Structure 1
């Protein structure tokens, strides 16, 4: 599924955290790694900006050389960071982009870095967004993968990616369906409950074909809150979800549930578009 993985870097701790998670997935899929650093076209002091970009790349090259046998290619581009990342990904047939949620400027926990957000919104490829506090969580590998789903096309696409990663790394999977707006679970026989069961059974069937250990869960409440609480309660290592739920939305706008999970999740979040192959 993943043959070429792109890791953008600006030299921040968040970028290094992303690189470590990217390394884990690259090794599992025997993928090649591409490292990109972008000199912002609006940057003052071109020589200094290029030196910083090279330092950022060298840091990740050293990391991969010391901790893996992965094949790496590196490039420095100039332009708007998100545009350069998307352009490079398209030109080199990248299968997965792995990047930190916060750049060198930091930002508070509840905010998503603007470059990462734009890449997620516009990318044709899956994007794994890694928060800074996820550094170190990859050391024991991915043991527990969470796949929230509402049965929408984007969520279904995310199921494929979540199951593929779980299969490669030997992780167990929990699949979560949130019945929004309910304070308690509707009884069996209720249309909402029956729909949830139908969606989860379809995922369970696909997991059984891959011989993946899977459990299904139905919970009521506000989706992003239930998802994040579930991540914390079960020690989740990776969340795989679609960029849009059943409400659809235009390509350039993230689904509200996905956006809120991205901004607050303790675990890396793999976002997948409906049209991702």
Structure 2
């Protein structure tokens, strides 16, 4: 797995709402840093029931021959205006208009077919509700094969100093550490590793599943040892440097004579739900969350897809969803 981040091609979905424009503003910052090419996509929903009803009534109106072509033409003009407003001419890519019954799946399918490096998508849509564009956003996060960067406000590269990375002992969660390191290197930020111990099982009638007094240090040591082994197995250029201070380490990248060091602090939290602990920690300490969308299940469950989707709706700060 490479450490150097490559973001040559970006896909930005839009529903033409003011809220969705924050994704384009963010994409413009990526253009400045990575020289990326930005494509826009708008999905026109299929109006199957309306189409069939009009046909049954014998109405002299064709959705396929009149409504869809007009809608696609208007959508293309709006995307052209947005691209002109936010993206420098030499970095503007294609303007894609698609008719599909499921917008989220159409967007995810486009990312895979055209080999994009990143999807930048707004967390809210036309009505400032996480349930409008938000519902599509959650599904894009779930279905996309490439990383998804969810933003609610325009992301400023200069205002990020602490990147939070949740880990749960699963290999899938550890896979987020390499892209998190590269994001931290680009943003000149530190990493904050978070592990949550759930104190109660869902079917235990509030009987402690893990003793509240469990010592955090052995959990931390085990977490770091497992992370170190993961890096040895997947990327020998990146390794952990122990500082001798508990909970404080560093990630170091060796590239010949060059070395890059990113500070890394680990926090062990205890709570009833992983979800709420991450939300509270991010609200208080984090500027950006980088996480995998899937992890373990069962007693040690942590980064389940449903947790990732809930976090996407509940955390106002930007979230970078990695893909293993």
- 1:69-218 alignment, distance < 5 Å: 70-80=91-101, 81-108=103-130, 113-131=134-152, 135-138=153-156, 140-181=158-199, 184=212, 186-187=214-215, 192=219, 194-199=221-226, 205=240, 207-209=251-253, 210-218=260-268
Q: Does 1:59 align with 2:82?
A: yes
Distance in 1 (alpha carbons) for counterparts of 2:157 and 2:136: 26
User: Compared with structure 1, are the counterparts of its residues 188 and 238 closer, same or farther at alpha carbon in structure 2 (3 Å cutoff)?
Assistant: closer
User: Compared with structure 1, are the counterparts of its residues 56 and 105 closer, same or farther at alpha carbon in structure 2 (3 Å cutoff)?
Assistant: farther
Distance in 1 (alpha carbons) for counterparts of 2:315 and 2:27: 18
Confirm or deny: 8 A CA contact 2:142 2:305 kept in the other structure: no
Confirm or deny: 8 A CA contact 2:160 2:288 kept in the other structure: yes
1:6 corresponds in structure 2 to 11
Is the deviation greater in 19-28 or in 255-264? 19-28
Confirm or deny: 8 A CA contact 2:26 2:154 kept in the other structure: no
Distance in 2 (alpha carbons) for counterparts of 1:200 and 1:184: 24
Confirm or deny: 8 A CA contact 1:5 1:33 kept in the other structure: yes
Distance in 2 (alpha carbons) for counterparts of 1:60 and 1:139: 20
Confirm or deny: 8 A CA contact 1:11 1:57 kept in the other structure: no
Larger Rg: 2
Distance in 2 (alpha carbons) for counterparts of 1:171 and 1:53: 38
> How many matched pairs?
262
Distance in 2 (alpha carbons) for counterparts of 1:112 and 1:153: 31
Is the deviation greater in 205-214 or in 264-273? 205-214
Q: CA deviation at 1:8?
A: 0.8
Distance in 2 (alpha carbons) for counterparts of 1:60 and 1:15: 13
Confirm or deny: 8 A CA contact 1:99 1:130 kept in the other structure: yes
User: Compared with structure 1, are the counterparts of its residues 255 and 91 closer, same or farther at alpha carbon in structure 2 (3 Å cutoff)?
Assistant: closer
Q: Does 1:219 align with 2:276?
A: no
Of 41, 47, 51, which aligns to 2:46? 41
Q: Does 1:28 align with 2:46?
A: no
TM-score normalized by the length of structure 1: 0.81
Q: Structure 2, unaligned stretches of length 5 or more?
A: 1-5, 49-62, 200-209, 232-238, 241-249, 254-259
Confirm or deny: 8 A CA contact 2:40 2:79 kept in the other structure: no
Give the 3-state SS of the residue equivalent to 2:115 in structure 1.
coil
Distance in 2 (alpha carbons) for counterparts of 1:22 and 1:185: 45
TM-score normalized by the length of structure 2: 0.70
